[in-house]
Structures are given as C-alpha cells and as structure tokens.
Amino acid sequence: MRALLVVNPAATTTSARTRDVLIHALASDLKLEVANTEYRGHARDLARRAAESGTYDVVVALGGDGTVNEVVNGLLHHGPAPSDLPRLAVVPGGSTNVFARALGLPNHVVEATGALLAALREGSERTVGLGLAAGTPGTADEAVPARWFTFCAGFGFDAGVIGRVEQQRERGKRSTHALYVRQALRQFFGEPHRRQGTITIERPGEDPIPDLALSIVCNTSPWTFFGNRPIYASPKASFDTGLDVLGLTKLTTPAVTRYATHLLTSTPERGPHGKHAVSLHDLADFTLQSQAPLPLQMDGDHLGLRTSVTFTGVRHALRVIV
C-alpha cells in the first residue's frame, strides 16, 4: 500500500525524534513517502498533488486540526469522490486534535500510530460527511473560494477569539487553554455586538432567525475539548448527518456565564439551552448573513472578515482510516 505522510514539523506535541520513530513504524507496513510542510497551505498542495497523481492509497496527516483541514481541502480540490480518492489517515500532533478524537482515535501520538497501523492491517475505514463553506451569491463575499471543514466553523464571537489566539501565537505564545480563556475574556469585553446580534440564519423554505450574537456550526460532536473534557455545543451533530448550528441571541455577562456553564457541564445528551439559545439539527443548506463584517473560522483557522457565508452539509464526502 502506497502512502504519503504529510508532516507539519511545527506540530505542537511532536518532536523530531518522535517523528522519526513514527516514520520508521509506518514505513515498516507501508510504501511510504514523507513530505514536510514549509508554508501555510503546503499540506493542501501536497494532498492535491497526491490525489491528482492517482498513485497513493492513503494520505496520512501528522499534525493538528489545521494540518488535517489543509489535507482534506487538497484531497477534495475537485470535489468528493470517496471511491476514487486516497483515504485519509490522521496522526494527531496538535494541541487539541478535535477531528481525530471525534473519530475515536487516541490523543497520544504513539498510540494513535499503533491504532492506525492496526486499522490498515484490518482494512478498517468509514466514510464521513464534511461541511463546505462558500461566499454567498449576490453578496460582496460571493467570490470567496469554497472551503471544506471537518468538525466546526464559527461566525462571530468564537472566530474572534481564535483570531486573537493566532496573533498571540505569532508573537511566540504557546497554544494553551489559559491562552484561549484570556483571549475569550478580551473578545467578550471588546465585542461591539454582544447585546444586539447582527447575524441572521436563512434556510430554504423556513423563516429567517435574526439577531444572533454568536453562531457555531458543527459537523460532529463534541465541538471541542477543554483538556480531556469534551465540550458539546451541538450534541446531536454527527459525521453521518448534515450540519448543526448553535446560536445565541445575547452575550451579556449573565447570559455568557449561564451558557459557558452549560458548555462546561454539557453531555452527549444535553448542550446549551434556554430562551437565548437556538439549536438546529441536520441542515443541508443555510446561510449566515451579518449586518456588519464578522470574523470567520473553520477547524480553528481564522479566515478574516465576512458578511455572508453559505454552508452545505455534504454526506459521504471522504473515506477515513479508523
């Protein structure tokens, strides 16, 4: 079996020595080619070339959720074709690794490599659905290229937090939960639309839902992890269904305190709830429209400001080794 291993050498939780051990282990079972990423978007380019060459059975992403997202976008550059494209495999090397953990993979890089090799020997795989976000026709963002995401997207508050974290990381700060908490507090106190939201959800054949101050789009559950604690923004979200949305109409101090508590105590059966919460399940197509430009993130990657984003839930998009 021929495989391309796409390695992010800057991955948070792996060292050069660890990567050498993993490469040796994978090469014992696979006809392995290794490529290190050298710039933002390089993993996407490598995966695209692997898919277009038709010579690889598997593309393995060694890195965090950002690396996985780039590899997925490279594999699906010409659209989903699960039976024709290389399968995706993931060795988690980031700080959170939501996609890998949502698939049930170990969060330890060595254990995950062992699980991957066992799955390859047994031919264990599944086909997962993914989210696709694009500029909305007829708006200022209509020319924005479409982009796939594996586990979540956010429009507004949470994307602003991620943008702040990325700025801090560019200044040399480590990606830690404490860093996210600090930036979330700064985003909250600097958020101009927290009392009156600017986001409207528009769905075909349904009445619009206006005045959202926060919108989180989930393709699976959990939404993220706080240490080892899973956080369920949309507990019903699944790789086997369409997209789920959690929206909040207010981000006042009492509301944020209440819903932050809901998130931290969430379970697979119950997520945030109450009069200011909007929960939608298994959506195929919808648009998030804002009266003011807001930050957008996908799989933890800040993508700048948008006024309108159209989302599509695509079932059976990609084969994954599990």
The predicted pLDDT at position 179 comes to: 87
Identify the pLDDT of residue 238.
98
The fold adopted by the segment(s) 2-123 is Rossmann fold (3.40.50)
pLDDT band at 231 (very low <50, low <70, confident <90, very high): very high
Q: Is the pLDDT of residue 175 over 80?
A: no
Reduced to 3 states (helix: H, G, I; strand: E, B; else coil), residue 69 is helix
Percent of the chain scored above 70 by pLDDT? 100
Query: Is residue 177 over pLDDT 80?
Result: no
Is 96 strand, coil or helix?
coil
* Cβ-proximal residues to 168 (8 Å cutoff; 6+ apart), any chain: 179, 183
Residue 166 pLDDT greater than 90, yes or no: no
- Residue intervals of the chain classified under CATH 2.60.200.40 are 131-316
Element (H, E) at 25: helix 16-27
| Whole-prediction pTM | 0.94
Q: For the structural domain made of 131-316, what CATH number should be given?
A: 2.60.200.40
Whether 125 shows a pLDDT value over 90: the answer reads yes
pLDDT confidence bin for 262, thresholds 50/70/90: very high
pLDDT at position 74: 98
Residue 62 has pLDDT above 90, yes or no: yes
Q: Is the pLDDT assigned to residue 192 strictly greater than 80?
A: no
